[in-house]
Amino acid sequence: MSSPWRVSLVAIGLAALALAGCNREERHSRSKPIGETVPAGTSPDTIWPGGTVAQTADPRARLYDNNAPAIAAGQQLYTQMNCVGCHSHGGGGMGPALMDDQWRYGGRIDQIATTIAEGRPNGMPSWRSKLTEDQIWKLAAYVRSLSGQPSKDAVASRAESMSSTTPQTLTPREPAHTSDTAAQ
């Protein structure tokens, strides 16, 4: 009679141990507003006069980069804020393609968030006044999933809409190159 008790106790102990490791599903829907002082993500192929300065990773990246609810919220914002009108489902159109390996202004999540917030000269509108920081970072997390950057178990296989690109759960991760400036 006693042996099944021992087995279940061991199992529960193991589960508690692993509890700390996994925040893929952690939902957080509130974060502090955009502060002017927050360092903006610099574009990738900048020349650092006098030698490259060590880049500190933005602390918010950990909250959004592989977070499934954030990517799902980003997917809904991507449609509702009309990003799909210019960038389609990653193929591009009025705006550049987001599912390939070329990132003119940087492919890190903080760089994408800066592009969304500040806008870019050739027609990317600035969303700073229309979206909160939390929404912008969720959008950036979804944009990265268009090129397969986050882990496969954090992305959605499809949306409740017409099927377009191959499911993100099956597309390989695009290597992140720097910009293809010739394509201005």
Partner 1 sequence: MSIQHYQSIFGNAATETRQFNTLFVIFLVVCAIMYLAVIAFLILGLVRRRRSDAANTVEEGRHHDSNPRMQAGLIGWAAVVGTGLVALAIASFVADRSMAVAAAHEKLSITVTANQWWWDVQYNAADNSKMVRTANEIHLPVGVPVHIYLKSNDVIHSFWVPSLAGKQDLIPGRENDITITPRKLGIYRGQCAEFCGAEHAKMALVVDVDSYSDFIKWWRHQLEEAAPPATPLAKAGYAFVTSRNCGACHAIAGTPASGTVGPDLTHLASRRTLAASMPMGEGNLYGWVADPQSIKPGTRMPTIGLEPDQLHAVVAYLETLK
Partner 2 sequence: MIPQRVKQEDERLARERAKLARDGPKLKGAKLEARLERTWRRPPGILGWLATVDHKEIGRRYIVTALIFLALGGALAAVMRLQLAVPDNNLVGAQRYNELFTMHGSTMMFLFAVPVMEGVAVFIIPLMLGTRSTAFPRLNAFSYYMYVFGGLLLWGAFALNIGPDVGWFAYTPLSGPQFSPGKRADVWAQMITFTEVSALAAAVVLVCTILKTRAPGMTLARMPLFAWAMLVVAVMIIFSMPAVALCSSMLISDRLIGTNFYNAYEHGDALLWQHLFWFFGHPEVYIIFLPATGFVSVITETFCRRPIFAYPVVVLALISTGILAFGLWVHHMFATGLPRVGYSFYTSASMTVAIPTALQIFCWLATMWDGRPRLQVPMLYVIGFIVIFVIGGLTGVIIASVPLDLELHDTYFIVAHFHYVLIGGAVFPLLGILTYWFPKITGRMMSETLGKIGFWMLFLGFQLAFFPMHFAGLLGMPRRVYTYPAGLGLELPNLLSTVGAFVVASAVVLFVINGLFSLYRGTIAPQNPWGATSLEWATASPPPPYNFAHIPVVESRTPLWDAKGELPVVTGLRVDEKEILLTTVVAAAPDLREPVPEPSLWPLIAAIAVGVLFVSSIFSPWAVVFGAIPAAIATAAWFWPKELKRHPEPVIS
Partner 3 sequence: MRRVVDAFLVTLLCTATAALTGCSRSEPRQQLGSATVYGTVPAGDHAVAAPAASPADDGNWVMPGKDYAATRFSALNQVTPANVSKLALSFTFSTATSHGYEAPPLVVNGTMYLITPFPNYLYALDLTKPGAPTKWVFKPKPLAASQGVACCDTVNRGAVYDAGKIFFNTLDGQTIAVDANSGQQVWRTQLGDIQKGETITMAPLVAGGKVLVGNSGGEMGVRGWIAALDEGSGKLAWRAFNTGPDKDVLIGPRFKPFYPMDQGKDLGVRTWPPEAWKIGGGTVWGWLSYDPETKLVYYGVGNPGPWNPDQRPGDNKWTTGVFARDIDTGQAAWFYQTTPHDLFDHDDINEIILADIPWNGQRRPVLFRPARAGFFYVQDRRTGQVLSAAPFGYVNGYKGVDLKTGMIIPNPEKATHAGRVVRDICPASPGMKDWNPSAFSPLTGLVYIPHNNLCMDYGAMQANYISGTPYVGADVKMYAGPGGNRGAFTAWDPIHQKKVWEIPEDLPVWSPALVTAGGVVFYGTMDGWFKAVDARTGKQLWRFKAGSGIIGQPISYRGPDGRQYVAVVAGVGGWAGAIVSAQMDPRDPTGALGFANAMKDLPQKSTAGGILYVFTLAR
Q: Summarize as ranges the residues that interact with partner 3 (CB under 8 A).
A: 79-82, 84-86, 88-97, 99-100, 121-125, 130, 161-162, 164-166, 183
**166 contributes a contact to partner 2 by CB under 8 A:** yes
- CA 77 vs. chain centroid, Å, equals 13
- CA 80 vs. chain centroid, Å, equals 17
Q: Give whichever of 4 and 59 is closer to partner 1, judged by the CB atom.
A: 59
Q: Give whichever of 39 and 91 is closer to partner 3, judged by the CB atom.
A: 91
**170 contributes a contact to partner 2 by CB under 8 A:** yes
How many other C-beta atoms can be found within 10 angstroms of the C-beta atom of residue 10?
10
Identify residues 63-82 at the interface with partner 2 (CB under 8 A).
Answer: 68-69, 71-72, 75-76
Residue of 137, 162, 160 lying closest to 77 (CA atoms):
137
**3 state SS for 11-50:** HHHHHHHHHCCCCCCCCCCCCCCCCCCCCCCCCCCCCCCC
Binding mask 63-82 for partner 1 (x = CB under 8 A): -------------x---xx-
Of residues 56, 129, 163, 184, which one binds partner 1 by CB under 8 A? 129
State the minimum distance, in angstroms, from the CB of residue 139 to partner 3: 13
**173 contributes a contact to partner 1 by CB under 8 A:** no
**123 contributes a contact to partner 2 by CB under 8 A:** no
How many residues in total does the chain contain? Answer: 184
**19 contributes a contact to partner 2 by CB under 8 A:** yes
**3 state SS for 150-184:** CCHHHCCCCCCCCCCCCCCCCCCCCCCECCCHHHC
